[in-house]
Structure 1
Amino acid sequence: MTSMLDQYERASQRSKPSGPELMRPDISTAGFIQMKSQDEEPIFIRQRVNFRPPDNILHLAVSSNFIMIVMANNIILRIDVKCPEKKEEIDISKYVTNMKISGLFLDPLGNHLLIALIPKNGESPPADLFYLHRTSTKFKQAGKFRGHEITAVGWNFNNASETTSGPILLGSSRGLIFETEIGLDGDKIFNTSLEQYWKQVFDIGEESKPPITGIVFHKIPQSDKYVIIVTTLIRIYQYVGTIMNPQEKPLLQQIFSRYLNVQERFNQLESSLPYSRMQVYYPAPKGMPTSFGWLSETGILYAEVDAKADPDNVLVNQEMLCCPETSLSGTTVAQTSLAPINFILTKFHALLLYPDHVKGISLLNQELIFEDIYNDTFGKLVNIIKDPMSGAIWAHTERALFKYKVTREERNVWQIYMDKNEFGLAKQYCKDNPAHIDQVLVKEAEILFKNKEFEKSAIIYADTHSSFEEISLKFLQESQIEALKTFLKKKLEGLRPQDKTQITMIVVWVIELFMNQLGTLRSNQSSHLHNSKYTELQKQLDSFLCIPTVEECVKKNLSTIHNLMASHGDKDNLIRLTIMHRNYEEVIRQHLHKNNYLEALEVLKSQANRNLFYQFAGILIQELPKPTVAALISQGHQLQPSKLLPALVSCDSDEKHAKEVVKYLEFCVYKQSCPDQAIHNFLLSLYTKYKQDEVMRYIGSQGQDITMVHYDVHYALRLCQEAGLTEACVQLSALLGLWTTAVDLALTINVDLAKQIAAMPSHNDNELKKKLWLKIAEHVVRERDDIQQAMEFLQQCDLVRIEDILPFFSDFVTIDHFKDAICSSLQEYNQHIQDLKEEMQEATKAAEIIRKDIQAFRRRCTFVHVRDACNSCEVQLLLRPFYVFPCGHKFHSDCLIAALIPMLTIEQQTKLADLQRQLTVISKKPEDTTSVGSVSLSTKDQIKADLDELIASECLYCGEFMIESIDKPFIEEENYERVMAEWA
């Protein structure tokens, strides 16, 4: 149940409404009805963290979801936001004797913490600086900074190391700037070369020696330049320069060196406040900031960060944001609370912290949009900060911690930009909301209309949902015919094809406007200027009539348009209209009826309707084969060969026409890579009739993969069989996998072709390949009686042996012809038998050796003498349980375990400890329990066996443990100083 306190806190948060409760549909947003809920979620919502600090909170720092809290009882709490239950408490009482903490600085990654201390009463001891790493609870003193009160730290946002911070800048209370690098290096806070990483790099140089209140530096992307921004109580300094040597330390001194004899750029504002605050906004972690804010007594100096605008000034478009003097309730704020304690920047807003409330103002129009009033239950507000990496906003009082949730802070940005007449940005932030975009466009169009930019206004008005009649009337009242035509044309582009009535109305209206303008110019043809205007206007009308939508509309309403032009007496445009909408199909038919085939072909080529090519190509190829085919080829990809196929098939009756058809088909196949199977089949059929020498070239061009060819292989095989093209039949049969048929046909031509076919099947199909080669061998032996060539097969194919082809020879063939082949085959069999015998002998010998070794190991033993000592502790071996290894090394059990533990993995160490614990438990049981049966004894033996397997599987000095430790130092790093002291 919600407590009374939570209800009060929720009620104390007030946000300015984001817009009217109800936007009624009007002329500017026709078609949109937008409702805004009265309880729309505020942009900023305060959420109290479930955390009760043991004492008052003095300081707080947050980075990368790590929170560091300094409390009044000298305890520092370290909290991981992702695991808030795991809090670490660090006592700093011994470091703050007679001192107080003046500053808490945490790097962006949350790894490095700096704590600045100053004397409580301005007396000794001097100011000091301490360092704490995220993985440590021990503070380390930065001795080089003793006596300097550090008031600001510029962290290195490009640093990715967890142990060192990289070069950073520290500002002191006397206007000094230091460069250093902090981190862990053994027991030292800084790197070994301390002097190279600690140096005063600049002095602000103001006479009053004001404290540095803020430092930030960044490397400009895609360049070697760095920009450094430093603030004091009344000034903002900018330092921009190039790092010539990135390896030189200190790094950033190279930039400050440029300003030693040059007046640096600064902004100055008089302020009586004892503090000033600097904040920057990062759109993404580790990126360049995009905006900058500096809080002084006057207000917040806000600027955009742009490194490209001015080489020496990165803070552009500066403006002063005054702190609001009234609250959302309308009451005036007391003068004592006009100056905020601190503030943070978001992308579009700034949150200002006061002792008892938080205000949010828009960075775009300085309007107060949020107010959060705190009660005194948890004390006064102390600070508000923002996590530079996660963007989370945190605020804390003396006894409580709060977090602000940001919800769609860009929701009203479009309206602000619209009010400022920045319409491009306004449309960008409308988030594709049609109602918002329409409002922006209407206002932009109205501004352009007022500024007499009528044509630009017309273009934008056409994209709105404003009343068509009202906008048209506005341009007519101003006699802006050109703007009206622009508006109508733009509206026409946005209409759908089914909006036929609106399309017809607009097209007729635009043509009417053109006719009026052309008629006016025709009546006044005295000057050359009017003639040029007339020509330009006529070109515009021609272009308008060529628009597909307009052309279609005119075609359907041809009589209406014709009567309109006739009423204006415009004969030229009447002729153009007739030519433009001529019925080409009828014209071609008339030419063909009069046998004017060439004129019909010219008309066909000049028009854009491709369907007429499919309709009249057959007749024209019959009468004008060569010109018609040339015309078809000139159309290229615009024609679909499959639709021309009926016309082409009707013209293959004689060789003259067939050759021209073949020319077009070859163009489709070889030039356009047409994949249609019908086209390829038709071309192949013409080849078999009229150009048989082209068949093999065509088949070869299609390849030997049946899945990739474009013709019907079965159909092609039938055509070639009917035409008697045996070689083509061989290739097609092979393509279909009819290997036996292909070889048989190839043998009727020549043996070499048959060999090629026999070599084509897959390497995995050895049975088929052997069958094909034997068929060729049988043909050579029985048909040609060529024994010598048959013998050559034994070298050409490894699958065929002499015994395979012997049955093909007649009984009267003497052995002299293939004596060598038989001898070679017998030698191979004999060699294979010898190899098998040698392998069997070697296996027998190896088995005998293993058998002897087993017998020898059964009789092997080791003697242990009374004087033998442990090789580790050198104490008498028989005093305690021990292990003896075959190599001769001997160890006590406990000595061996102690020496092995550092070499074992974590899993092995855990297993060893578990086995020792189990053995101890079993050993402590009463004797009668262990002797009841064999179960406990077998368990104990098993544990001992597992323990022996783990620690005594190999010798400590002779086994793999010693080999793996060869790269480890003799002296561990943590014992180095002690050992060196002992040796000294």
Structure 2
Amino acid sequence: MEQRRQVFSVDLLERYAAKGRGDITCMAAGNDVIVLGTSKGWVIRHDFGVGDSFDIDLSAGRPGEQSIHRVFVDPGGSHCIATVVGNGTSDTFYTHAKWTKPRVLSKLKASTREVILGTDNGQLHEIAVDEKDKKEKYIKFLFELSELPESFTGLQMETASINNGTRYYVMAVTPHPVFILLQELALRSSPNGDENFVENKALLDYSKLGEGASVVNRISEQIVEELYFDQTPDAVSRGVIGLCSDASAGLFYAYDQSSIFQVSVNDEGRDMWKVYLDLKEYAAALANCRDALQRDQVYLVQDIMMQAEDAFNTKDFLRAASFYAKDALRTFLLRKLDNLAKDDKCQITMISTWATELYLDKMNRLLLEDDTGSENSSLDYQSIIKEFRAFLSDSKDVLDEATTIKLLESYGRVDELVFFASLKEQHEIVVHHYIQLGEAKKALLVLQKPNVPIDLQYKFAPDLIMLDAYETVESWMTRKDLNPRKLIPAMMRYSSELHAK
């Protein structure tokens, strides 16, 4: 079992990306363009599409220390808006990819639309400002972090139009740890804000980014991978400070105070069928399956659960326990095999052998149930045989040959024994089986394969010529490597048997 490539990987994209203009404070991306804001008031534009960069000093002409608070880039990567703060004041600038000087957006110093404010003590307020009077039209309390008051350090709001108004979805972030506050707000402006209300609050606790980041599956809410970043020694103390995405290029980035990292995604949906299967959402699991084997596993688990529940409902508790225990164990072992590294050879062989025995037990149990004439039992039986053969095909190189053959023999699974012998190129077992069944043509086809030892031709010649003399001789005549002298005993035996009759 080969260890699969991780879904997410991290690569260093640009070391010392701030170019000595201070520490990185914020970042945005669009169309292979990354724009950085620094602690010294500089905006640095990296265009990875054409391979150049330039920087603009937004602190020029402003007294005291200045820092870039936020930068925004359009999806095309041409337009940039940046806010610089310092000495209790702030200004917002606009710059274009072709400009050498920024332009101050003075009209953004007032707003007549709804604004969400986060406070130092963990409160959210809605506010609207009258542009003419430069006064608040109203301010309305929305939410408070009562259990763990912390300052809100970032807010993101999205809107959605519905029949009776506009919905506002707000994400608020606090520093230690990072909290994500998902709120669905229905805001309808009025002079006193009486019609505003909040519904469907949910508070989720996430780990601090630090030296790495945890990748969480949004469906299962489980951590699936850990990401680690190659940081410089002076950046380790602060850790990774932010993430952003380039929607146009489909890329994801992380950054610390000096470096930019690219986070690559490799087939992130490949295991979603397992996630939904664990949640018992079988329709969603089937929709995310990539091949027949995955679908068979979903059908199997779904069928097992139904049979177990039926047995439980009829108070056949022993039978229900049998379904739950053995089939759940087999499913667990198969999942375990998927996650083992190819170097764990002993463990892979042991678990594969265990799973083989559980498959054999399942087939025999279904075979006994099939005596009742139930159509469902027959379909289940055929399905598990198909799944088991697929498992043998996948595991033929890790299963111990002798042990597996003994297991198949002990359970009386002759057809599966022949199937496994064919996979392992144990041609003698296969030919012997076909001769026992009187299937001379099938036995001859096996012997005609180029990798079959020629000695088997002579060993089985007496039996084959007695079963079907014509087909056997025809098969011999197609071979140029046979020694006729070694076939004489078989022909003499056939002749004597023929005369004896």
Q: How does the TM-score come out when normalised to structure 2?
A: 0.52
Report if aligned partners of 1:108, 1:389 keep a CA contact under 8 Å in 2.
yes
**Aligned counterpart for 2:84 among listed residues 108, 111, 117:** 117
Distance apart, 1:63 and its partner CA: 2.7
Q: Does residue 1:217 correspond to 2:165, yes or no?
A: no
The one-letter code sitting in structure 1 at the alignment partner of 2:30 is S
In structure 2, C-alpha distance between the alignment counterparts of 1:73 and 1:426, rounded to whole Å? 51
In structure 1, C-alpha distance between the alignment counterparts of 2:127 and 2:248, rounded to whole Å? 25
In structure 2, C-alpha distance between the alignment counterparts of 1:71 and 1:130, rounded to whole Å? 14
In structure 1, C-alpha distance between the alignment counterparts of 2:383 and 2:230, rounded to whole Å? 60
> Within 5 A, what are the aligned runs for 1:321-470?
322-323=205-206, 339-340=207-208, 353-354=209-210, 356-377=211-232, 379-380=235-236, 381-432=240-291, 434-452=292-310, 469-470=364-365
Secondary structure at the aligned position of 1:94 is classed as coil
**Aligned counterpart for 2:27 among listed residues 55, 60, 66:** 60
Q: Does residue 1:140 correspond to 2:103, yes or no?
A: yes
Q: Does residue 1:71 correspond to 2:38, yes or no?
A: yes
Corresponding residue for 2:94? 131
Q: 1:383 to 1:96 in 2, by over 3 A?
A: farther
Secondary structure at the aligned position of 2:37 is classed as strand
Distance apart, 1:401 and its partner CA: 1.1
Report if aligned partners of 1:202, 1:256 keep a CA contact under 8 Å in 2.
no
| CA displacement 1:359-410 (0-9 Å, x = unmatched) | 2222233333222333542623221212244431101122221101100112
Q: 1:237 to 1:52 in 2, by over 3 A?
A: closer
Higher strand share: 2
In structure 2, C-alpha distance between the alignment counterparts of 1:215 and 1:97, rounded to whole Å? 30
In structure 1, C-alpha distance between the alignment counterparts of 2:116 and 2:62, rounded to whole Å? 21
| CA displacement 1:808-862 (0-9 Å, x = unmatched) | xxxxxxxxxxxxxxxxxxxxxxxxxxxxxxxxxxxxxxxxxxxxxxxxxxxxxxx
Q: Does residue 1:37 correspond to 2:2, yes or no?
A: yes
Q: 1:231 to 1:109 in 2, by over 3 A?
A: same
Q: Does residue 1:46 correspond to 2:36, yes or no?
A: no
The one-letter code sitting in structure 2 at the alignment partner of 1:362 is N
Q: Does residue 1:264 correspond to 2:231, yes or no?
A: no
Corresponding residue for 1:238? 184
Q: 1:62 to 1:474 in 2, by over 3 A?
A: same
Distance apart, 1:106 and its partner CA: 3.1
Q: 1:474 to 1:113 in 2, by over 3 A?
A: same
Secondary structure at the aligned position of 1:93 is classed as coil
In structure 1, C-alpha distance between the alignment counterparts of 2:10 and 2:54, rounded to whole Å? 26
Corresponding residue for 2:70? 103
Corresponding residue for 2:60? 94
- Higher RCO (C-alpha 8 Å, min separation 6): 2
In structure 2, C-alpha distance between the alignment counterparts of 1:58 and 1:43, rounded to whole Å? 28
Q: 1:76 to 1:213 in 2, by over 3 A?
A: closer
Report if aligned partners of 1:217, 1:226 keep a CA contact under 8 Å in 2.
no
Report if aligned partners of 1:77, 1:88 keep a CA contact under 8 Å in 2.
yes
| CA displacement 1:250-281 (0-9 Å, x = unmatched) | xxxxx434992224114567xxxxxxxxxxxx
In structure 1, C-alpha distance between the alignment counterparts of 2:91 and 2:303, rounded to whole Å? 64
> What is the percent sequence identity of the aligned residues?
16
| CA displacement 1:410-450 (0-9 Å, x = unmatched) | 22222222122111111221212x22222221111110001
Distance apart, 1:228 and its partner CA: 1.2
Secondary structure at the aligned position of 1:451 is classed as helix
| CA displacement 1:516-537 (0-9 Å, x = unmatched) | xxxxxxxxxxxxxxxxxxxxxx
Secondary structure at the aligned position of 1:436 is classed as helix
Q: 1:170 to 1:94 in 2, by over 3 A?
A: farther
Secondary structure at the aligned position of 1:216 is classed as strand
Report if aligned partners of 2:277, 2:298 keep a CA contact under 8 Å in 1.
yes
The one-letter code sitting in structure 2 at the alignment partner of 1:213 is G
In structure 2, runs of 5+ residues without a counterpart are: 120-124, 146-150, 313-319, 321-326, 328-358, 386-501
Secondary structure at the aligned position of 1:37 is classed as coil
Secondary structure at the aligned position of 1:256 is classed as coil
The one-letter code sitting in structure 1 at the alignment partner of 2:54 is E
Distance apart, 1:173 and its partner CA: 5.4
Q: 1:113 to 1:169 in 2, by over 3 A?
A: farther
Report if aligned partners of 2:129, 2:138 keep a CA contact under 8 Å in 1.
no
The one-letter code sitting in structure 1 at the alignment partner of 2:167 is V
Report if aligned partners of 1:201, 1:256 keep a CA contact under 8 Å in 2.
no
Coordinate RMSD, CA, aligned: 4.5
In structure 2, C-alpha distance between the alignment counterparts of 1:112 and 1:52, rounded to whole Å? 24
In structure 1, runs of 5+ residues without a counterpart are: 1-35, 151-166, 181-193, 242-254, 270-300, 302-319, 324-338, 341-352, 496-984
The one-letter code sitting in structure 2 at the alignment partner of 1:139 is P
In structure 2, C-alpha distance between the alignment counterparts of 1:79 and 1:130, rounded to whole Å? 18
In structure 1, C-alpha distance between the alignment counterparts of 2:144 and 2:363, rounded to whole Å? 69
In structure 1, C-alpha distance between the alignment counterparts of 2:60 and 2:243, rounded to whole Å? 29
Q: 1:361 to 1:489 in 2, by over 3 A?
A: closer
Secondary structure at the aligned position of 1:205 is classed as strand
In structure 2, C-alpha distance between the alignment counterparts of 1:384 and 1:218, rounded to whole Å? 22
The one-letter code sitting in structure 2 at the alignment partner of 1:97 is P
The one-letter code sitting in structure 2 at the alignment partner of 1:367 is Q
The one-letter code sitting in structure 1 at the alignment partner of 2:10 is R
> Within 5 A, what are the aligned runs for 1:830-841?
none
In structure 1, C-alpha distance between the alignment counterparts of 2:299 and 2:129, rounded to whole Å? 53
**Aligned counterpart for 2:139 among listed residues 182, 199, 203:** 203
Report if aligned partners of 1:68, 1:79 keep a CA contact under 8 Å in 2.
yes
Secondary structure at the aligned position of 1:414 is classed as helix
The one-letter code sitting in structure 2 at the alignment partner of 1:399 is S
> Within 5 A, what are the aligned runs for 1:242-253?
none
The one-letter code sitting in structure 2 at the alignment partner of 1:419 is D
In structure 2, C-alpha distance between the alignment counterparts of 1:212 and 1:173, rounded to whole Å? 8
Distance apart, 1:176 and its partner CA: 5.2
How many residues align structurally?
319
Q: 1:230 to 1:77 in 2, by over 3 A?
A: same
Report if aligned partners of 1:76, 1:90 keep a CA contact under 8 Å in 2.
yes
In structure 2, C-alpha distance between the alignment counterparts of 1:391 and 1:70, rounded to whole Å? 22
In structure 2, C-alpha distance between the alignment counterparts of 1:179 and 1:136, rounded to whole Å? 32
In structure 1, C-alpha distance between the alignment counterparts of 2:153 and 2:127, rounded to whole Å? 8
Report if aligned partners of 2:68, 2:83 keep a CA contact under 8 Å in 1.
yes
**Aligned counterpart for 2:368 among listed residues 451, 473, 482:** 473
Q: 1:240 to 1:176 in 2, by over 3 A?
A: closer
The one-letter code sitting in structure 1 at the alignment partner of 2:216 is I
Distance apart, 1:37 and its partner CA: 0.7
Distance apart, 1:171 and its partner CA: 4.5
| CA displacement 1:612-666 (0-9 Å, x = unmatched) | xxxxxxxxxxxxxxxxxxxxxxxxxxxxxxxxxxxxxxxxxxxxxxxxxxxxxxx
Corresponding residue for 1:274? none
Q: 1:450 to 1:95 in 2, by over 3 A?
A: farther
Corresponding residue for 1:228? 168
Distance apart, 1:128 and its partner CA: 2.9
In structure 2, C-alpha distance between the alignment counterparts of 1:111 and 1:415, rounded to whole Å? 42
Q: How does the TM-score come out when normalised to structure 1?
A: 0.28
